Amino acid sequence: MTTFQRARSEEQRLARRQTILRTAAAMLAEMPVSALSLNELSRRVGLAKSNVLRYFETREAVLLDLLDQSARDFLTEAGEQLRSLVDARDPLDVRTEAVASGLATSFAARPMLCELLSAQAGVLEHNISIEVATRYKEGARDSLLGLAELLRSLFPELDRPRSEQGANLIIVLICGLWTHTHPAPAVRAVYDADPRFAFMDSNFPDALHQTLHTLLTGLLVRS
């Protein structure tokens, strides 16, 4: 354990927060959200738990900050990729397939983001203060509005209400599909052993692609 030295400037505080977030991200490459503890995070950062709590009030607050950062990075990167792949002059069915496929591929390539999203409402938004909740929701709102704007740029036919509804529903789909396509070991064993349950077993990219295509088609029809 290193000797704690208080960060004196705002720049030093931000740097230390980023160190904690990078360490949490590295841990999530090794373990699920449920296994990440504040004690182990503190040990890997090289600070006492009480000193980590100077920067984040709880484990959940760390993970919400990481989720916010990951969502913003995703929006920037996926937005650039989709805008380069999709031509607004293409027929609607061609664009719908391209966007559904592109979004599914982009999310599937970011398992940490998908797992954090799946844990957001049921786990991460608990054990936090109103201040942390407000700050997180402000960032989440900005990301959702950014995703809605991206949808409108790819589909000029979409009005603002439908694009915002679509952005919300995309996140809901990811939350549910990620959990159900990553079953517990006992459930995985049942799926593998008994063909009666084959229709209940699906992989995340394919399931997300299909549901996104259905969602986008419905939104465009209603818009």
Full DSSP string of 96-128: HHHHHHHHHHHHHT-HHHHHHHHHIIIIITSS-
Instruction: Please tell me the predicted confidence (pLDDT) of residue 7.
Output: 58
Q: What global pTM score does this model have?
A: 0.90
CATH classification code of 1-56 = 1.10.10
Confidence check: pLDDT of 59 > 90: yes
pLDDT band at 105 (very low <50, low <70, confident <90, very high): very high
How do residues 159-199 score in pLDDT, each as one tens digit?
999 999 999 999 999 999 999 999 999 999 999 999 999 99
Residue ranges covered by each domain of the chain: 1-56, 58-222
Instruction: Please tell me the predicted confidence (pLDDT) of residue 175.
Output: 95
Query: At CB < 8 A and 24+ separation, what contacts does 128-137 make?
Result: 128/57, 128/58, 128/60, 128/61, 128/64, 129/57, 132/57, 132/58, 132/61, 132/64, 136/64, 136/65, 136/67, 136/68
pLDDT band at 88 (very low <50, low <70, confident <90, very high): confident
What architecture does CATH give domain 58-222? Orthogonal Bundle (1.10)
Per-chain mean pLDDT for the chain: 94
How do residues 6-57 score in pLDDT, each as one tens digit?
656 788 889 999 999 999 999 999 999 999 999 999 999 999 999 999 999 9
